[in-house]
Chain A
Amino acid sequence: MREISTLEVTKAIKDLCLQANRVLRPDVLEAIRASLGFEVSPTGKEIMEQIIKNAGLAVSEQLPICQDTGYVGVFIELGQDVLLKGDLTLAINEGVKEAYDEGYLRKSMVACPIFERENTGDNTPAFITVDTVPGDKIKITVIPKGGGTENASRLQMLPVSGGVEAVKEFVLEAAEGAAKSCPPVIVGVGIGASFDKVGLLAKKALLRSIADSNPDPELAALENELLVRINKLGIGPAGLGGRITALAVKIEAAPTHIACLPAAVTFNCHAARQAEAII
């Protein structure tokens, strides 16, 4: 067993929150640069140039890329041979609190979702997913995510008889909703599993690098087809019209019940914030 103090986790979470908010995901920046030449709308081009300039300024001025510094999603891959000393949830939330205080990041969490909706004041709680894996390390991925694209997410139990066509239609419909957030977006699709797991699949799909494609050739083809079709919708950068509506479509599929075809779709805006570390 390898002993790890949760103090180390707090420090990592704090650093990752600061880094993710100030440094645009390098593969996203690269994708914006690469697709600039394909954008035909002058407004769209201008917006993509602003995105590139903004990424530079955020780093040099140590300012967040977007003022909506999000809720904090935390994905932990916890090695089975790790002995954690301390309370993991508390440690993560402490790291979030320190980052959002000291980094002048906006606190955007409300305690009660329906009635008072009063701000928790420190951007906690984080939304934490822990998976156990072999080994004696902890991998931490932090994704601060804003409300705009989160609200465009959709989950539906599709009819099994609808098959792949139903999935396509569902994703394309949801993409219309993403027009109101901040395109170009990354599209994360979850298919299969159960009602509660399929949303997580979609979220995890967002974590994949822009350049990779699904190891399953059928799913890889579906990712490509959906990307091409979404980019024909005309939504464009900032929804003001153009070709570059999505930078990538990522699909994660999982086994499901004979009677079920759960599907979920979620989006990351071009201000894609993600940072990871291994302890």
Chain B
Amino acid sequence: MHYKIHTPLDDNTVAKLKAGDTIEITGTLYTARDQAHQRLVELIQKGQALPFGLKGQILFYAGPAPTPPGKVMGSVGPTTSSRMDLFTPVLLAYGLKGMIGKGPRSPEVKAALIKYNAVYFAATGGVAALLSSYIKKAELFAYPELGPEAIYRLEVENFPVVVAIDAWGGDLYDQNRELYKEA
């Protein structure tokens, strides 16, 4: 199936998405990679407020290239998601509904996606000039000292992703590997 969805995500939207669906996202994404994840989880563990409410939001695992003058955003694309696996269940428990990255996730993350009704999208790696063209507004939002690892707030229009792991345990990486494997 092909869907156009908007952020923030609600439970019904998440529940209808199935591994393999192609999606265009319009709305807000927050970039976060290793160090930002560490900080967010630390804040949760200390019981302190986060820089933004996680409820219904989508995190984009990305560390953009610098923005040239006159452009909205420099090249931006997904980084390997498995490095975030340890942190993800904690954030999902706090209301996070979606993540965009590349590559497979751990069994713990898959279980947490089922438990909290959330979804993992894959964006294509290595097509960062193309992906930046779907970004209509970008703002350095938190932790500027982290450079490319800072949190950016992005407004996107029809941002193209695939549902890689759905809230029902469907995993496109596993399914398609089996489907296309030749003896």
A contact residues vs B (CB 8 Å cutoff): 40-41, 43, 46-47, 50-51, 53-54, 57-58, 61-69, 104-108, 119, 148, 179-182, 232-236, 238-243, 269-271
Question: Is the pair A180, B129 in contact by a Cβ cutoff of 8 Å?
Answer: no
With A67-B74, A241-B179: A50-B130 Cβ-Cβ less than 8 Å: yes
B contact residues vs A (CB 8 Å cutoff): 20, 22, 62-68, 71, 74-77, 79-80, 82, 102-104, 122, 124-130, 132-133, 147-148, 160, 162, 164, 172-173, 175-183
Question: Is the pair A43, B176 in contact by a Cβ cutoff of 8 Å?
Answer: yes
- Report how many A-B pairs have Cβ atoms within 8 Å: 149
With A64-B75, A234-B178: A240-B122 Cβ-Cβ less than 8 Å: yes
Across the interface, which residues of A come within 8 angstroms of B76, CB to CB? 67
Question: Is the pair B176, A41 in contact by a Cβ cutoff of 8 Å?
Answer: yes
Across the interface, which residues of B come within 8 angstroms of A233, CB to CB? 177, 181
With A50-B130, A104-B74, A148-B80: A67-B62 Cβ-Cβ less than 8 Å: yes
Q: Which of B75, B82, B124 contacts A238 (CB 8 A)?
A: B124
Question: Is the pair B125, A238 in contact by a Cβ cutoff of 8 Å?
Answer: yes
The answer for the CA separation of A220 and B82 in the assembled complex, in Å, is 36
Question: Is the pair B64, A57 in contact by a Cβ cutoff of 8 Å?
Answer: no
Question: Is the pair A63, B127 in contact by a Cβ cutoff of 8 Å?
Answer: no
CB distance from B160 to the nearest CB of A (A): 8
- Could you pull out 29 A-B pairs where Cβ atoms are within 8 angstroms? A40-B180, A41-B179, A41-B180, A43-B22, A50-B127, A50-B130, A61-B129, A64-B65, A64-B74, A65-B75, A65-B127, A66-B75, A66-B127, A67-B62, A68-B79, A104-B67, A105-B65, A119-B147, A148-B80, A180-B103, A181-B80, A182-B102, A232-B181, A239-B102, A242-B176, A242-B180, A269-B125, A269-B126, A270-B126
Across the interface, which residues of A come within 8 angstroms of B127, CB to CB? 50-51, 53-54, 65-66, 271
Q: Which of A50, A53, A119, A180 contacts B80 (CB 8 A)?
A: A180
